[in-house]
Structure 1
Amino acid sequence: MTPEPAAEEFVREEPRGLLARAELLDDLRPTLVTMVAVVLAGVVLGLLWAFVAPGQAIVTTASGASSPLAAESDHVFDATAIFFLLAAAYGVVVGVLAWRRVARRGPVTLLGVGIATTAGAWVAAFVGTRLVGPLTDRSSIGVLLDRAEASGSAAAGPPVPATLSTLPATLGSFWTVLAAGVGAVLAYLLCAIALGEDDMARPEVPAGE
């Protein structure tokens, strides 16, 4: 006759990794402080973009007609791509740093860094597009254009005097700010997956605290 299993074998284990309501509420204040710091860091990100984003060179003739140089047409895309990469890197760094706060690991921090990095990237775009003008060297230099190329016809003649100047970089789309939030959330989740612990190694809070 098969012996009956001990009663202890039927005791269900309590699920690990579930945060109590009190713990979630305790995470709110430090997360809000972190969010403010992350959003303010967007000012530095915008300043950095304004320094490195390429402008677009244009030529202006004596008649006032102006046009960008053919080789400079890709710089609009370049400026947007640079901001996208800076925002994504900014989000990843914030996500990893937030993960290192072991005592605050959880959904509150994850949601907070996602919102804060997106808002910080928006601040960076706002600040960067307003600083890029003053930071761009707009000094003009005199050049001579081929008359046939300047007039768009095959008529030969002496070169046409013109000036070469630089337009400030522009941000093609403000949707690039989403790269920061996506980068932060993915970095945080990948750290959690790599750890492989249900409780994310977060220290337990003694009962009654």
Structure 2
Amino acid sequence: MTLESEEFVAEEPRGTLSRDELRADLRPTVLTVVVVALAGVLLGLLWALVAPGQATVTTATGASSPLAAESDHVFDATAIFFLLATAYGVVVGALAWRRVERRGPVTLLGIGLATTAGAWLAAFVGTALAGPLTDRSPIGVLLDRAEATGSAVAGAPIPATLSTVPATIGSFWTVLGAGLGAVLAYLLCAIALGEDDMGRTPGEQ
């Protein structure tokens, strides 16, 4: 009885990029990083336009205090920036995924760094523009003396001015939302596709 042996040839692993392919990805990725980071200027401008300022009352003696109803606006401005930065990252990650010929670790790392840098630039630009874009024209008001002084003694109203303090970002850690959004969007697209080579044509440069 003759036994015939079958030859098993191991297939080359799919999804492994050569050094030439990785080098070819570097130049377009650097260009993407620059463009995405500069887009942070527009993100900062958008935040400065929509972020709420905080109304503050100032008396003739120079004492100032934010209105009780405005106390949440510091959190609101920070939350708005975080949401805008994260959405910005998700959009960049989805657009980067559409570049089929450049899918891979170089692009993933690039968009993560680019969106984080863009969000940092947005925070810097946004806080710089918030002042000029906020209407800080003072308005004359009269404060109830008993309520303003915290005593039960009534008296003549206290003259004061009402003005708006520009919005601020409570924590610059919020810039990390952009990088996380971009990386997660890119990885979710890769997981949904379910192919080792992420649909990239092998050897394409």
TM-score range, shorter chain: over 0.9
User: Structure 1 counterpart of 2:6, which letter?
Assistant: A
Q: Deviations over 1:75-106 (max 9, x none)?
A: 00000000000000000000000000000000
Q: Percent identity?
A: 80
Mapped contact 2:18–2:203 kept (Cα < 8 A) = no
- The match for 1:141 is 139
Q: CA RMSD in A?
A: 1.3
- The match for 1:31 is 29
Alignment of 1:60-139 (within 5 A): 60-139=58-137
User: Structure 2 counterpart of 1:183, which letter?
Assistant: G
1:6 CA drift (Å)? 2.0
1:4 CA drift (Å)? 3.7
- The match for 2:186 is 188
- The match for 1:6 is 6
- The match for 1:161 is 159
Q: Distance in 2 between matches of 1:188 and 1:46?
A: 23
User: Structure 1 counterpart of 2:191, which letter?
Assistant: I
User: Structure 2 counterpart of 1:164, which letter?
Assistant: L
**Number of matched residues?**
205
1:141 CA drift (Å)? 1.1
User: Structure 2 counterpart of 1:6, which letter?
Assistant: E
- The match for 1:58 is 56
TM-score by length of structure 1 reads: 0.95
- The match for 2:174 is 176
Runs (5+) with no aligned partner, structure 2: none
Runs of 4+ aligned residues of structure 1 deviating over 6 Å after TM superposition are none
**Structure 2 counterpart SS, 1:14:** coil
Runs (5+) with no aligned partner, structure 1: none
Q: Distance in 2 between matches of 1:64 and 1:17?
A: 66
User: Structure 1 counterpart of 2:149, which letter?
Assistant: S
Is 1:152 the counterpart of 2:150 in the alignment?
Answer: yes
User: Structure 1 counterpart of 2:27, which letter?
Assistant: R
TM-score by length of structure 2 reads: 0.97
Mapped contact 2:49–2:130 kept (Cα < 8 A) = yes
Q: Distance in 1 between matches of 2:130 and 2:66?
A: 18
